[in-house]
Amino acid sequence: MPEGFFHYKHVVSTGVTTIAVSQGGLLHGIVFNQLATNAVTASTGLTTIYDATTTAASTDASVIGIIGIVAGIPEYIYDVQFKNGLTLQVGSGVTPLDITVSFR
């Protein structure tokens, strides 16, 4: 892939999803393609982004960000480096979230 372009990973999930990156890279952004259609509470609608290959090895220092579902804000741009890998922990709502992650 030519330099300057991003890879992507489409995630339709609840629970933990490891993005196919187990080394350093650049997290460009996260897009919520479709928000859950059911009522989502603050505790079940969070998506946590880790600089790690699993959440088990994660610490507060490895948290890149925590996104709460907010209607009308589908895209979050980070443009930050990560060193260890990229893992998302998606909230435990009944309806899976539809997310696209762009990185390189």
pLDDT, one tens digit per residue, over 41-71 is 555 667 889 998 877 766 778 899 988 766 6
Residue at 99 is within a domain: yes
∠ CA(101), CA(60), CA(32), 5° rounding?
Answer: 20
Q: Number of folded domains in the chain?
A: 1
Any domain includes 76: yes
**57 found inside a domain:** yes
Q: Is the pLDDT of residue 5 over 80?
A: yes
Whole-prediction pTM value? 0.79
77 found inside a domain: yes
Residue 14 falls inside a structural domain: yes
Structure tokens at 5: 């372009």
Task: Determine the structural domain holding residue 91 and report its residue range.
Answer: 7-103
CATH number at residue 27: 2.60.120
Is there a domain that residue 2 lies in? Answer: no
**What strands lie across the sheet with 87-90, from one edge to the other?**
15-18, 87-90, 46-50, 63-68
Name the DSSP letter for residue 62. G
Give the pLDDT confidence score for residue 67 in this predicted structure.
86
